[in-house]
Structure 1
């Protein structure tokens, strides 16, 4: 429909375009809007975007109807292609099902504004094959079994109310991750290259969460680049190390949120906000300190691996430079609440480093 294209090209104002769509035949208009959204999503998918990333960046806009349209467009890929990379398929299938029943005018408004937002998103690096590309067959059953056992142990550590039980679960998970990582280094295939994976960093307090992710990554021989405008950090490293980073970061964030809710002040919106931000800053700093100590201990136990680890770190840094030749150091967050800082450090000391 020319009305939609005129709005997207700037030849027609948004308000006039929406008015024109509202009075046009519903069947024709709805079909044209669905087609335009599908084309916009397809362009971004070919441009490196993954389903979870697109849904997250759209959901941040705050309109649940837009998020629902985005999820529906991603899910529509699944029956179109007989062979889709398992990671891409899993992301699309896990997007929330539509529950919003908007009236037609609101649906038209959401769809048209979504198209304008999608046009603003840039092309990014393609990290997993898109539908229609050749899927990668790189995941192995033994590796999956280890990771599933770690996930199960972390879930139990996060859900139990008994500290001793949580410690036992987390200690076992840590043991599995460390053992698996060392085995991967010893059995690494010559010429193996580092990879990259994008992990979502959701608001609020994105800067503080990105700092926590960076602390976890550095302790696991990885490096991160945070893209705040796109709601993710890119983690560079070898596959097993990135798996460990993702699992640990998710678990520590769950533990941080639980402790923060437990310790935060009872009232005062400004006070609570300062407390939470200061809590997360302190939590990330203290977790980094604990991880640095643990990493030094691990290296001392396997000093023969030091040259290999240095070589792998150099490869990871080179991969970061190739993907992001121009980066800037993020400004540190302010600490406005001593109460939040002290509570965050105490929570980090309690946290189970799985």
Structure 2
């Protein structure tokens, strides 16, 4: 592997998460190329990048310092490929990596869902490592990407192949937790991500949505169904920081005053934060609902475990996708079957 100064990192699927992580790396002096949509390429060429978070980060990178391209040829030079595409695009991304990337490249899947790592490894000769992004990124326009929630990245580091990447992430003040196997962590993130659809359908910021006990009851219901399914499969979702997935439904059901006290010590969310699925609906893009709540419904069906709330949420998101009018701004009662 090349040394830290020459390590080449390519972000494939540079949307909100990819631009934030890539931008933080660029601001710290890393050699990074972003591969993404022409819309963002134009925005960033014109405005550069501004990277802020819920705490203290406020970095800017000029457009002249950023290599953002729609050309997949850049994959040929990559030592590390950070894959940030939607889960429904994993197969097409694997085909691009197979066509363009060096067999010596290391692919890190920074994607939602629980099956992308296995799908990629079955398709590629490159080393594939699972990754996890715990925080929420919202694009505010004109090159401004805001991280609205806390958390450390997670990466598998089998055979110590990620040390150069870990150094670059550390230099960019992006905390990373390292694991030998990320499976239980991914299931822990899945439990948390079940709120993405609830937030998207509500149409209000995360902090406001979670401050409403009626919406929290919906989230608790989808999480209870998911935990029952995972228990039947013998899967224990891992604790993520201070968040214990098995306790989340009970915490969410607390009265508002108690919930605020517990949440204040567990998870930091700023007033601007929204779920990525809300952004998808607003931009009329396909969502990852099939890989989140839909994953619970599929696994439940195999095990003959009913998941009526998750099933209803999936149908509501698909209806919103079909309508193409952004968030339907549904009440909590409308989210229950």
TM norm structure 1: 0.28
Report which of the two structures shows the higher radius of gyration computed on alpha carbons: 1
Question: Which of the pair is proportionally richer in helix?
Answer: 1
Q: Return the structure number with greater strand share.
A: 2
TM-score by length of 2: 0.29
